[in-house]
Structure 1
C-alpha cells in the first residue's frame, strides 16, 4: 500500500518549517518535550485523513502568524491501481526516485508513480485539500482526491479515543477486518420501534406534573391537543447508526471500556489482521497506558521488529523502553534551529546503536552531562533536590540528563554520537586521572564543555577542602550514619596515623582546629578503596543535598565556582 516518501510542513503550530524523507517502515520521533513531535503526527493525520472539513483556529498557526498560511504537503508512492488512474490524475501523477530520495514532476522510467497531497489554511481558517504538481499549476488545473481514494490513503491513528475502531463503522479496523458487513438498517428500525413500545407509559407517572403544565399552557394559548399527552420515546431521535454495533464481552460490557493500554493494544492487533485499507499507522506517545512488557508487545504487533513489514508507522515517544527496543535507524531526533526543524536519524555512526541501548534517557533530553562516575551523578542529583525544595529552577526540568560513564577512560565514549545529533554536552570529572587528551580536545571542538576540579583533585578532596569548617563535623556524622561509627573511626585513624577520629570532630564542632593537612587526611579516609564513604549515587546525593548545597555560599571559591558553572550551564544561566 501507499508509503509516505516526503513531508513538508510550514507555519503549523510548533513548526515554522520542516522537511523529511521518512523510512518506509518505522519512524519514531524522539527528543526533548515541546519541540514539535506531536505536531508532525497531527500534520500527517490532518493532510491524509478522510475528512471534508476541520475547524482551525489562530493558535494552529506558528506563533499566531495568520499572515503566512499553514502548508502541509505529503508525497506518497507505492500507489494502488486506482490512484495511478491516468483518466483521473494524469496531470498530477509525479515520479519518486527511491535511490536519490528525489521527486520528479513527471512519472518516468525507474521512478515510482507518486501523488502529492496538499493541505493549506489561510487567515480565513478555511482548510483546502488538493493535489499538486508543477505542470498542473502551470496549466491552471486543480483537483482533489476522490473520497474513496482518500480513504485508501488514510492511516489508522491509535490514541486515547479508540472507540471508533471497536465498532462497525465505515473505515474502522473492524470494518476492514473481514468481508462480513452487518446489514443493520431493517433491524435498527425494528429496535427503535420496540424501544418506543417498551418505554410507553413508563414515564407518565414521573412526568405527570410537567405533562399537565404542557396541557394547561397549550390550552391557554389555544393550541389544540387531540388526546391526553404521554411521555414516549421519539423513535426518530434514537441515535442508532454507524457504530451502533460494537464488540462486547460475555457480560455485555463494551470492549471500549477496557483500559487505555488494552484498547490500544487490541486495536493494533486488529489492524495487523485487517484485510484492506491503509498500512499507515500513527501513534502519539506510544507508551501511554502501557507497562514495559506491553510496550514491547505493542511494537512487535506494529511490525517494528520485522524488516519486511508492509506497515509504515509514525510514532512519538519519551520512553527509554521504546528506544532500547528499536534500531537506531528507526529513530529520528526532532531538532529545532534557526533554519527550521529537522528530523535527524539516530544512526549517525557505528556507535549509535550501542549509545541508544546503553543511554536511552540521554536521547530524550535537551542537554547531557557525562559524569565520570556515580559520585558525580549523586552530587548533581543532590543539588537538584535542594534546588527544587527551595523553589529554584529545576536542573532536570530544564532538560538535563546524566550519564554515568563508569570511569575516566570511558568519559567520551558516547559523546560523538550525541554531539552529532545536536545535543548540548558537557563532561564532569576529577583531575587526579586524565582522560585521553585527543578525545577531550575533540569533544570541546564540537561544542562540549568540560567541568573539572582543581589540578590534581578528585571529588572527595575537592569537597573536603571546599567545605566551610563548620560543615566538617556534619560531613563525618553523615559517614557515621551511613557506615557506622566503628568503620568511620577506623578509616580516620588509619589515614592520619591516629591523629584524627570521630571524637576529634565532635570535640571541635566549628572545625577551628582542623588544619589543611587534616583535611587532606579526611579526604583520604573517605575515599579509600575499602568501603569509600560516598562513592554510591545515593550516598553522594545525601551529602550533596544535606551538606554541600545548603553551605554552598560559604564554600571555597574555586569549589563553589565549579558547582555554580554546572548549574548555570544546565539551566541556561
Structure 2
C-alpha cells in the first residue's frame, strides 16, 4: 500500500505531498481541484502507463504545471534568475512489505527516506539535449508564444528505490483503474467474458468451436465472397475473403448479456454497476484500485448497490482511491475516509471525527455533507423557512443574496452539532449555525456544540422572549409593522395570534412570500436579532455601518 505520494510539476499539482490511509481513501474537492490528476499520478507511477498508453508515449505539454512553465519562459533570458527547467516527478513510497524487497533501497529522488520500498517516474530534459532545448524555447518565446514546452526533448525515467531503471511493473506492485463510464465495449469486461469461456470449456470443446468457425468462414468465402471482384485500376482484380487474423478469432466476438441483451444495450446504470462489479472481480488480486466518480449515471436508488460493491472490495490488503461528487457515496463509505483537495494543495484529511458522527451519517446518508466540506462560508439552518428568511434578511442588510457573497445556506434539520464537528476537524472557518430555541434556554443548544466553536465558527439561537420558533421571533421583531407583515403574508387580520397561527401552519409559504415581496415593502420590516448577529458574524459590515 502507498504510504506517501509526492507529485511535482504535474498539471495542477505543483509540490504535492499526501499520506493516504491504508484501505479506503475518498478524495473530494471542487471541479479542477486535482482529484483526477492524483489518480492519474498513481496510475502512471505504479503501472508505467495511463489509460492503456505507455508513459513514454503519452507525455503532453499540457501535463506540465502551467505556472511553472510560464515562470520558466518569463525568466528564460534573465541571467540573474535561476532558470529551472520544468520537469515532472511522481514518487510513491510503500509500506514495508517483504514482497517489495526488490524495490527497497536508498535511492529516493528527494532523499527523504534512507531505506524504503518505493517507485518513481520522471520526465526531464537530459543534459546533452539542454542547449538545443533552451534554443528551441527561446524561439518559441520570440514569436510571442503561446508558451508550450517542446516535449520531444524530454525523456521518461521509471525506476525503483533500489536504484534500477525498470521497463515493466515490478512484482508486488499492482494497480487497476476501474472505468465505469457506459460505452459500447470495455476491454476489462470483454476480457472477463473471454476468461470465463476459457475456464468453462475444455481444450477439446475449444478446438471444436474453432473448427466450426473456420468451416463457416470458408463457406462464406466459397459461396458468397468468391463471386465478388474489386477493381484496382489496371493492377489486376482483387477479391474479398473473411479476415483470418487473430483479431477475428471467435472468442473476440463474445460479450456479456442479460436476458439476451448485450451489456452495451442495457441502461447506463446497469452498465455502470455491472462494469464496476466485473472489474473488481477481475482485479481481485490487485492491491491498489482507482475509481473516478463511480456514481455517474446512477439514480439515487442505485447508489446503495454501488456502495455495497465498493465496500465489499475493501480489505486490509487492498488500498482503494475513490473520487466522488456524491454526498451519499461519501457518507455511506465513511466520512473518516475523507481527504479534501483544494486547487492542487495537499489534501486535508479527517482526523478525530467521532465514531458516533461517522456512524450517524452512514445511517442518515441523505445529508449533503459535501456542501459544508466544499463551502468557503456556510450557514446551517433547520429548514426551508429559516433558509428563506435568512436569504431575505441578508439581502436586506447587504443588498444581495448569500450565494452572491459566496455563502452557502444549508438545511440540516437539528444536526448542527455534527456538522460543526465536521467543520472543526477540517479546520473550516466562516461557519454559522442557526436554530430555534424550542422553548429551551439557548445555552442548552449552544453548550452541546461548544467544543467545535471558535472565533471562526459560531452558534446563534433565538432568545426565549422572542418566541420558541422563527414565526413568533419574526412577529416580535416587527411589533410596529404588523400591518405590513400581515399584508406581505396575505392576511387581513394583523393580530399577533392570527399571524402566529397562520405562519406556523404555513411555514414555508409565508417565508417565500416575504422573499418574493416588493423590496420597497418588505425591507421596512426587521429581521430577528439572532439572524442579524449571524449575518454580521459571517459577513461583517464595513466599520460604522452595522445594524443598529
TM-score after normalising by structure 1:
0.64
Partner of 1:547: 517
The question of whether the paired residues in 1 share the 8 Å contact of 2:48 and 2:158 is answered with: no
Partner of 1:269: 277
Distance 1:41 1:341, change over 3 A: same
The residue correspondences of 1:7-156 to structure 2 (distance < 5 A) are: 7-51=5-49, 52-53=54-55, 54-66=57-69, 67=72, 68-77=86-95, 81=99, 84-85=101-102, 89=103, 91=105, 104-106=113-115, 114-120=117-123, 123-125=149-151, 126=154, 128-133=156-161, 141-144=163-166, 146-147=167-168, 149=170, 153-156=174-177
Q: Is the 8 A contact 1:32 1:399 kept in 2?
A: no
Alignment correspondent of 1:416: 421
Post-superposition offset of 1:402: 1.1
| 8 Å CA contact retained: 1:73, 1:118 | yes
Q: Aligned match of 1:426 in 426, 432, 439? A: 432
Equivalents in 2 of 1:470, 1:301: separation in Å? Answer: 59
Alignment deviations for residues 274-319 of structure 1 (CA, whole Å, 9 cap, x no partner): 48642322111121123344322233333x2587454321112222
Structure 1 gaps, min length 5: 95-101, 108-113, 216-223, 481-501, 506-520
Going from structure 1 to structure 2, the CA distance change for 1:336 and 1:273 (only over 3 Å counts) comes to closer
Counterparts of 1:57 and 1:416, CA distance in 2: 43
The alpha carbon displacement at 1:362 in A equals 2.7
SS at match of 1:445: coil
SS in 1 for 2:89: strand
Q: Is the 8 A contact 1:31 1:335 kept in 2?
A: yes
Structure 1, 454-463 or 42-51: larger mean CA deviation: 454-463
* 2:508 is equivalent to residue 538 of structure 1: yes
CA–CA distance in structure 1, aligned partners of residues 259 and 289 of structure 2? 31
CA distance in 2, matches of 1:247, 1:400: 47
**8 A Cα contact 1:8 1:20, kept in partner:** yes
Give the superposition deviation at 1:328.
Answer: 3.5
For 1:228-239, what aligned pairs fall within 5 Å after superposition? 229=237, 232=240, 235=243
Equivalent residue number for residue 389 of structure 2:
379
Q: What secondary structure is seen at the aligned counterpart in 1 of 2:353? A: coil
**1:174 Cα shift?**
5.9
The 3 A distance-change label for structure 1 pair 348 and 334 is: farther
Query: Aligned pair in 2 of structure 1 residues 296, 557: CA closer, same or farther (>3 Å)?
Result: closer
Tell me the equivalent position of 1:460.
471
Alpha-carbon distance between aligned partners in 1 of 2:449 and 2:258, rounded to the nearest angstrom? 65
1:469-548 counterparts in 2 under 5 A? 471-477=484-490, 502=492, 521-522=495-496, 525-527=498-500, 533-534=503-504, 538-547=508-517
Q: Distance in 2 between matches of 1:247 and 1:457?
A: 68
Give the direction of change, closer, same or farther, for the CA distance of 1:245–1:277 in structure 2 (3 Å limit).
Answer: farther
User: In structure 2, do the counterparts of structure 1 residues 275 and 15 end up closer, same or farther at CA, with 3 Å as the change threshold?
Assistant: closer
**Residue pair 2:175, 2:289 contacting (<8 A) in 1 also:** no
Q: Label 1:166 to 1:557 Cα distance change in 2 as closer, same or farther (>3 A).
A: closer
Q: Hey, what's the Cα distance between the residues in 2 that align with 1:404 and 1:475? A: 27
Cα displacement (A) at 1:163: 0.8
Structure 1 residue 103: deviation in Å?
8.0
- Shift of the alpha carbon at 1:334? 3.0
Give the conservation status (yes or no) of the 8 Å contact 1:27–1:332.
yes
TM-score, scaled to structure 2 = 0.67
1:421 Cα deviation from its structure 2 partner: 0.8
Distance in 2, Cα, partners of 1:242 & 1:127: 40
Task: Say whether 1:255 aligns with 2:252.
Answer: no
Q: Which residue of 1 aligns with 2:454?
A: 445
The alignment status of 1:344 with 2:365, answered yes or no, reads no
Residue 447 of structure 1: CA displacement?
1.0
Answer yes or no: is the 8 Å Cα contact 2:11–2:37 preserved in 1: yes
Compared with structure 1, are the counterparts of its residues 249 and 443 closer, same or farther at alpha carbon in structure 2 (3 Å cutoff)?
Answer: closer
Are the equivalent residues in 1 in contact too, given 2:193–2:254 (CA < 8 A)?
Answer: no
The structure that has the greater radius of gyration is 1
Match of 2:178 among 122, 138, 157: 157
Separation in 2 of the partners of 1:124 and 1:313? 35
Q: Secondary structure at the match of 1:353?
A: helix
Inter-partner Cα distance in structure 1 for 2:451 and 2:252: 64
Partner of 1:492: none
Note closer, same or farther for the CA distance 1:563–1:289 as it changes in structure 2 (3 Å cut).
Answer: same
The CA distance in 2 between the partners of 1:35 and 1:548, in whole Å, is: 40
- Work out whether residues 381 and 409 of structure 2, in 8 Å CA contact, stay in contact via their aligned partners in 1: no
Tell me the C-alpha RMSD between the 2 structures: 4.9
The number of residues matched between the two structures is: 469
1:368 and 2:378 correspond: yes
- Residue 415 of structure 1 deviates from its aligned partner by 1.2
Query: 1:378 Cα deviation (Å)?
Result: 4.2
**Structure 2 CA distance for aligned equivalents of residues 568 and 344 of structure 1:** 27
After superposition, the C-alpha distances for 1:484-540 in whole angstroms (9 at most, x for unaligned) are: xxxxxxxxxxxxxxxxxx2x56xxxxxxxxxxxxxxx43x5433xxx5524776335
Distance 2:212 2:473 in 1: 82
Which stretch of the first structure deviates more once superposed, 396-405 or 257-266? 396-405
SS in 2 for 1:131: strand
**1:176–1:277 Cα contact (<8 Å) kept:** no
Verify the 8 A CA contact 2:10 2:65 in the aligned structure 1.
yes
Task: Return the offset for 1:322.
Answer: 1.6
Q: Deviations over 1:135-194 (max 9, x none)?
A: x6xxxx5512x42537952323233157111213xxx68659976798999999888777
C-alpha displacement of 1:545: 3.4
